[in-house]
Structure 1
Amino acid sequence: MASATSVIAWGSGEDGQLGLGTYEEKEWACVVEALDPFAVRSVVGGSRNSLAICDDGKLFTWGWNQRGTLGHPPEKKTESVPSLVKSLANVKITQAAIGGWHCLAVDDQGRAYAWGGNEYGQCGEEPSKDDSGRPVRRDIVIPKRCAPKLTVRQVAAGGTHSVVLTREGSVWTWGQPWPPGDIKQISVPVRVQGLENVRLIAVGAFHNLALKEDGTLWAWGNNEYGQLGTGDTQPRSHPIPVQGLDDLTLVDIAAGGWHSTALTEEGEVYAWGRGEHGRLGFGDNDKSSKMVPQKVNLLAGEDIIQVSCGGTHSVALTRDGRIFSFGRGDHGRLGYGRKVTTGQPLELPIDIPPPEGQFNHADEEEDGKWIAKFVACGGRHTLAIMEWKADQEEETE
């Protein structure tokens, strides 16, 4: 039974990442009932796992756990029901991120934590090496402090690297920021030069975005599909301005595995990077990669307030609480009740029961409707926070 605020999930469930107590995939939205007793404020989808942060700062994780990515000893390789990260129960977590096989979190005091795979130093510890100098797998199964000298506002995790934004507006990174073998990994935070007064960061598999207070968007990292938005496919080791956004007022950014999006104050979406499977939302016949940001005209007029990018799909949230999804459709990750791949953004059907006490048995009609408040794409699954909006009684004179 859904509560007045519920987390829903759909898509691949083979690692338990949907949190439904099973390992089945779902082609339509289902309620994560284990989270109903808690007031969830945000959710994050990883490649094979998920997490939720509650209003009181409690952190729940579920899904794939072979690398300790759930934040507690991996007694089971996978967990299909959300569980509390007990080692962080005494701090108030405000934001978190999931990378390739590691996680980051920050509390209300600006302290950052990391756990999971650390062979490239992505959790902030010097990784061990074998006799040939290659990194040796060493998992950190219990969250521990990282970047202890920084007061952190936001954390973001890539495939094998980590990025944090400080409260002062500077950006720091560590781990393996490029595909393994391309550059030497570092386990100690290094400041990203050329970035000050940053408001928001977003990180893909191996590329990074930073939105500055002055509204300019900067990018660096891998660029083989044009995901940096620089008009070419040349990688950048230092931030460079994203092209084609100069006259826009940006309010949010998101990075998928190999694609990027930016959201304007007017609720318009711009997308660029890898276009395969239609993840950019430009239509079924336009799945090519884009080297510079282009407006997603198929979402024009929808007043979008949030976009989330997954590995090969994307989800957009409207101001009035509707969800549009597009991209690769296998495993049901688009939530249409069928495994369709489409570059055409389609509105998600939400067919979940009303919360207890919100059903009018007299006329068998629901006394309200579900509206989405937050969306999060994972690798092959999707999460959303839904809120029940009761019908307002007509005013009587």
Structure 2
Amino acid sequence: MSETGTNINNSGRKVISVAAGEAHTLALTGDGSVYSWGRGTFGRLGTGSELDRLFPVKVESSFTERVKFVGVSAGAYHSLALSDDGLVWSWGQNTYGQLGVNGENSLVPSLVKGFHGLSATDGSLRKSDTALKISSVKAGGMMSLAIDDIGSLWIWGNCPPQDAPKEGEEFSLLPTYIPTPVWNFHGQTVVKVACGSEHIVALVSTGETHKGGDLVCYSWGNNNHGQLGLGDTEIRTTPQIIETFDSESPWVAYEVACGAFHTSILAYKKEDLDSLKCVCWTFGLGENGQLGLGTTKNMSQPKTVKSLPLNVWLVSVDCGLFHTSVVSSVGDVWSWGMENGLGLCNEASFTESEGGDALIPRLIQCKEQHGSKFSDPIQVACGAAHTVLVTDNGYKLWSWGRGRSGVLGNGQVNDFFDPDLVLWPPLHEDFVKMEPQSISIIKRTAIIDDDDKSSKDITEIEKKLAIMERYASILHGSIFGKPFEEENDIPVSLQKSGSFDFGREWENMLESCDQGKLLRLEMFYRGMLTGVKDKIMKKKIKEMIKECIES
């Protein structure tokens, strides 16, 4: 679907940003809504429970009034969202204060307070009573970051210490339960920031305001694998400029992402801006190929990923714990690192020639009819073992990798090693679209009296029909790979006879499947069969133990 002809009525179906945590995903839509799916432990989905969600569900359970969001980010086990009034909301795990409050985990979004302006007193900077609005948020590992509307950086959660460890002491993170300003950038504007498990990388203007190609790159935190890009492995407790991207360098960084212990930066040459050519740079831990340099060595200085084409513009980059993905403007997607660029998918099964870690970028194929490229890509996001891609100007979502807990958002818990469509728009959106038709049928077929009892009966019927529609759509999605949307989706056997010939429809679907779909069906069958065998084995073991105890 193209953006032409869209209007405010379908802005809720357009995804403008995604974020991936350890095993959960967030999606922000054009109407300011946030959806989540995947693993629910610690309340990271913000739905009010710790249940896993196999499909995208709306995050809205704690708001007393309408909140419009403009930004989202995901840490390992927590989530952040930014509302249009400059307020920050957080939910999920709070063991290290990553929610910005000194309290327990939160199952629903809670407001983060404590962002105040700075005032000068006796030559030193201190917090003032003036509340600041936040312009962007970023989460990573057990850490949270925010940039306010005057370009100052704030940090909380499990943060790098401000003091260097004493001789003989090991590096350790410091839990911080309230947002704390990073004083080092006073007089400059922080434009973008990313963080890994123990390090931070920021793109900062050279002056008080950002004027375009005036960004320099700073890094600080743990550096045991060279993830700071400073040419050594020494710890930095204060931000240091990466020489490759300083004010004298011909390279200008415009995107930055951090894995657990590695960093990736997209940059262009100042004189080549009009040609839309750019380069991906990586540094840090390389033992799983996450640097894409054809080696498993660590790199303490930025190196270019030379296997990527030079004549394309890279629109997005992200790092999982041990893998990296980039997307070009023409619709090509590459991944590299652990388990063939999938991340922590230890169960991944490939042919002998494809197995193992991907040391150089691997082209991810789109399985749709228009070819291997993805149409109108916007953004890629990497979790620990899954990757999410936004295409078609925000109207289509793809995911692949480890599928347990529903992290892929396709209604299943199987692993998908090739891109599979997320069930988007969410199922309940389809029910909302169908609801008026259902109500009109009820009104035509029911005798409506003016008494309260009849109204209550009709309401109950409406509720039951809505549940039936949802159940049918889930079944339809499980069989045919997409939610029920319109009459054309009704199987032919049901249209003609009023009964559903499952065997015939299954045969028809198999006949229409290409090689990729057949392979995915085979993996799904194997996963299901393995699950059944596991259950049988567990029951047998329980029976044997029970017999032994009784005897």
Short-chain TM bin = 0.7 to 0.9
Distance 1:138 1:279, change over 3 A: closer
Q: Is the 8 A contact 1:307 1:317 kept in 2?
A: yes
Q: Distance in 2 between matches of 1:301 and 1:279?
A: 22
| Mapping for residues 126-145 of structure 1, pairs under 5 Å | 126=163, 133-135=169-171, 138-145=174-181
Quote the offset at 1:179 in angstroms: 5.7
Deviations 1:216-273 (A, max 9, x none): 2211111111111111111111111111222322122111111111111112211111
Shift of 1:43: 1.1
Kept after mapping to 1: 8 A contact 2:364/2:418: no
Query: Counterpart in 1 of 2:338?
Result: 274
Out of 198, 213, 235, the position equivalent to 2:268 is 213
Which residue, 61, 86, 94 being the options, matches 1:65? 94
Q: Which runs of 5+ in 2 are unaligned?
A: 1-11, 13-28, 117-130, 206-213, 227-231, 246-250, 270-277, 441-551
Helix, strand or coil at the partner of 1:270: strand
Structure 1 CA distance, aligned partners of 2:340 and 2:359? 13
> Per the alignment, in what secondary structure is the counterpart of residue 67 of structure 2?
coil
1:205–1:279 distance in 2 versus 1, CA, 3 Å:
closer
Question: 2:115 & 2:49 partners in 1: Cα distance?
Answer: 26
Q: Match of 1:213, SS?
A: strand
TM-score, with normalisation over the residues of structure 2? 0.60
Is 1:354 the equivalent of 2:429?
yes
Amino acid at match of 1:265: S
Question: Deviation at 1:210?
Answer: 1.2
Structure of higher CA gyration radius: 2
Q: Which residue of 1 aligns with 2:242?
A: 192
- 1:148 Cα offset (Å): 2.9
- Could you say which residue in structure 2 is the equivalent of 1:222? 285
Q: Are 1:21 and 2:48 matched, yes or no?
A: yes
Amino acid at match of 1:142: I
2:157 is aligned to 116
- Aligned pair in 2 of structure 1 residues 357, 270: CA closer, same or farther (>3 Å)? closer
Q: For 1:13, give the aligned amino acid.
A: G
2:194 equivalent in structure 1: 156
Q: Quick check: 1:296 aligned with 2:369?
A: no
Going from structure 1 to structure 2, the CA distance change for 1:228 and 1:116 (only over 3 Å counts) comes to same
Secondary structure of the residue that 1:354 maps to in structure 2?
helix
Q: Which has a greater percent of strand?
A: 1
Helix, strand or coil: the match of 1:253? Answer: strand
> What whole-Å deviation, never above 9, does each CA across 1:197-217 have from its counterpart, x for those lacking one?
111111111111111133122
Change (3 A) 1:217 1:136: closer
TM-score (norm 1): 0.81
Identity %: 29
Partner Cα separation in structure 2 for residue 236 and residue 135 of structure 1: 20
Change (3 A) 1:136 1:260: closer
User: Cα 1:69–1:317, aligned 2, differ >3 Å: closer, same or farther?
Assistant: same
1:269–1:63 Cα change, 3 Å: same
**1:380: which partner in 2?**
none
Alignment partner for residue 238 of structure 1, among 265, 278, 301?
301
Worse overlay, 157-166 or 343-352: 343-352
User: Which residue of the other structure, out of 316, 323, 337, is the alignment partner of 1:259?
Assistant: 323
Where 2:366 maps in the other structure, the secondary structure is helix
Aligned to 2:410: 336
Say which structure, 1 or 2, has more relative contact order (CA 8 Å, 6+ apart).
1
Q: Distance in 1 between matches of 2:39 and 2:344?
A: 21
Is the 1:232–1:291 contact (alpha carbons within 8 Å) kept by the matching residues of 2?
A: yes
Q: Is the 8 A contact 1:179 1:206 kept in 2?
A: yes
Greater Cα shift, 219-228 or 247-256: 247-256
Q: Distance in 2 between matches of 1:175 and 1:69?
A: 17
Are the equivalent residues in 1 in contact too, given 2:48–2:107 (CA < 8 A)?
yes
| Counterpart code for 1:329 | G
State which drifts further: 64-73 or 3-12. Answer: 3-12
* 8 Å Cα contact 1:284/1:344 also seen in 2: no
Call closer, same or farther: CA 1:100–1:357 in 2, change over 3 Å.
closer
CA 1:5–1:98: 2 relative to 1, 3 Å: closer
SS of 1:353's partner is helix
Cα RMSD over matched residues? 2.8
1:280 and 1:175, CA in 2 relative to 1: closer, same or farther beyond 3 A? closer
Q: Residue 189 and residue 339 in structure 1: after superposition, are their counterparts in 2 closer, same or farther (change >3 A)?
A: same
Q: Distance in 2 between matches of 1:98 and 1:170?
A: 21
Q: Select the residue among 69, 82, 86 that pairs with 1:53.
A: 82
Counterpart Cα distance in 2 of 1:165 and 1:137: 22
Q: Which runs of 5+ in 1 are unaligned?
A: 366-397
Distance 1:266 1:139, change over 3 A: same
Q: How many angstroms does 1:341 deviate by? A: 1.0
Corresponding residue number in structure 1 for 2:379: 306
Change (3 A) 1:269 1:280: farther
Question: Offset of 1:294 from its aligned partner?
Answer: 2.4
What does the per-residue CA deviation read over 1:96-148, in whole Å, with 9 as the maximum and x for residues that have no partner? 22222211111222111111123x43xxx22666x952356632111111133
Task: Say which is worse superposed, 284-293 or 318-327, in terms of deviation.
Answer: 284-293
The partner residue of 1:99 within 125, 133, 140 is 140
Structure 2 counterpart of 1:40, which letter?
Answer: F
What residue number does 2:108 align with? 81
Q: Once the 2 structures are TM-superposed, how far is the Cα of residue 173 of structure 1 from its aligned partner?
A: 0.6
